[in-house]
Amino acid sequence: MSIVVITADIVQLEVDAIVNAANPTLLGGGGVDGAIHRAAGPRLLAACRALPETSPGMRCPTGEVRITPGFDLPARWVIHTVGPVWQDGSHGEPGLLAHCYRASIALAAAHRLHSIAFPAISCGVYGFPAERAAAVAVAALREALLHHADLQVQLCGFDVRMSAILQHALDTHEHG
Ligand code: AR6
């Protein structure tokens, strides 16, 4: 089991899978979602469009995950997940965010992957406070990795501020 924090553009990482912080349509958007679609090329959008709809126009409910190839990315796979939109914290946001991390690990393990990189899901447009999101992410990952000891996890901050918050959560969780 290993979790490390890095600062990077996630689209450049040579890992088995990168996680996308998507929206329920899975048809792309801004932020990390837009960056992943640009780097993976148009086949990614076609693969997402081909996934079954759970309700009209929707392919991935909040907290759930879907997997596609990575196409032009160095990563072989993209695990798409939909984080919660932050309201005030009393609408199940922490539980839904934890589920994104747990379900991503379970799906990676089911595909026998060895390395996976996560962006800070929900910490951009979706407005989840970064410190709270980092604590949720670390707790969920540590628990999930108890069952998947050979998975290497990278928590990828896009800037040093986010990486410092993720590293602090990792250190805090380790020592307490
Ligand atoms: N590599 C790593 N991290 C990144 C990158 C990148 N290339 N680009 C942005 N981030 P966001 P959300 C960071 O807004 O809050 C999309 O439109 C960013 O700095 O991408 O889950 C979707 O379609 C932030 O810390 O995702 C949805 O509609 C983190 O990734 C909505 O945004 C997440 O920011 C999802 O919002």
Rounded Cα distance, 67 and 145, in Å: 19
Which of 125, 156, 166 to mutate to test ligand 1, by most ligand atoms within 8 A of the CB atom? 125
Q: Is the CB of 33 under 6 A from ligand 1?
A: yes
Structure tokens at 79: 């695990």
Rounded Cα distance, 16 and 97, in Å: 22
Q: Is the CB of 83 under 6 A from ligand 1?
A: yes
Domains of the chain and CATH, by start? 2-175 (3.40.220.10)
Residue nearest (by alpha carbon) to ligand 1 atom 23: 29
Ligand 1 centroid from CA 92, angstroms: 20
| Residue 53 identity | E
Ligand 1 centroid from CA 121, angstroms: 7
Between 9 and 176, name the one with better pLDDT: 9
Rounded Cα distance, 26 and 45, in Å: 8
Q: Which whole number is the average pLDDT over 146-175?
A: 93
H or E segment to which residue 153 belongs: strand 152-157
Q: Is the CB of 93 under 6 A from ligand 1?
A: no
Q: Has 150 been annotated as catalytic?
A: no
Whether residue 176 has pLDDT greater than 60: no
pLDDT recorded at residue 135:
98
Of 33, 88, 150, 171, the active-site residue reads: 33
Q: Taking Cα atoms as reference points, which of 49, 29, 5, 51 lies closest to residue 122?
A: 29
CA within 13 Å, CB half, 138: 21
Q: Decide: 116 and 153 in contact? Cβ < 8 Å.
A: yes
The number of residues making up the chain comes to: 176
From the number of C-beta atoms within 10 Å of its C-beta (0-12, 13-18, 19+), residue 131 rates as: middle
Q: Is the CB of 29 under 6 A from ligand 1?
A: yes
Q: CB 127: neighbour CB atoms within 10 A?
A: 13
Q: Decide: 54 and 114 in contact? Cβ < 8 Å.
A: no
The pTM of the full predicted model, rounded to 2 decimals, is: 0.98
pLDDT per position as a tens digit, 83-124: 999 999 999 999 999 999 999 999 999 999 999 999 999 999
Q: Is the CB of 1 under 6 A from ligand 1?
A: no
